[in-house]
Amino acid sequence: MKTVTAYRCKKCGLVMYPGHKRCLKCNGRDFEEIEPEGLAKLLTYTVIEQLPWGIDERGRIIGIVEFENGVRAMGVVRAETVRLGQKLQAAWEPVRKIAGEDIYGFTFYAG
């Protein structure tokens, strides 16, 4: 998987992805770079029936997950069945095309 960088506040431990100039919890400014690790647990999801132009798909599932080291991220869920708390494998791959160019993001797979 391509390297994705998240940030952990050295003052309070809050993990943020994407990063911010200040910690959203304590306003600290000193961060440690971390990468998402391990399986991702599905926290919530929604099914989008009407997608933007350029995505020829109905019923795309978008989910928010939490990796084993606390990094939270959003991405496309590709699984036969979807349930909260489900463990998913993460991949960094094209999720759509804009002007003929691949746009990359997280895709989560069951198993």
- Measure the CA–CA gap between 9 and 96, rounded to whole angstroms: 32
Say whether both 30 and 42 belong to one domain.
no
For the segment 6-26, what is each residue's pLDDT rounded down to a tens digit?
A: 999 999 999 999 999 999 999
**What is the predicted pLDDT for the residue at 111?**
74
Quick one: residue 99, left, alpha or beta (phi over 0 = left, psi -120 to 50 = alpha)? left
What parts of the chain have a pLDDT lower than 50? none
Count structural domains, the chain.
2
Q: Which domain holds residue 9?
A: 1-35
For the domain that residue 74 is a member of, what is the CATH number?
2.40.50
DSSP 2: -
Contact, 12 vs 23, CB < 8 A? yes
Q: In terms of domains, do 14 and 45 share one?
A: no
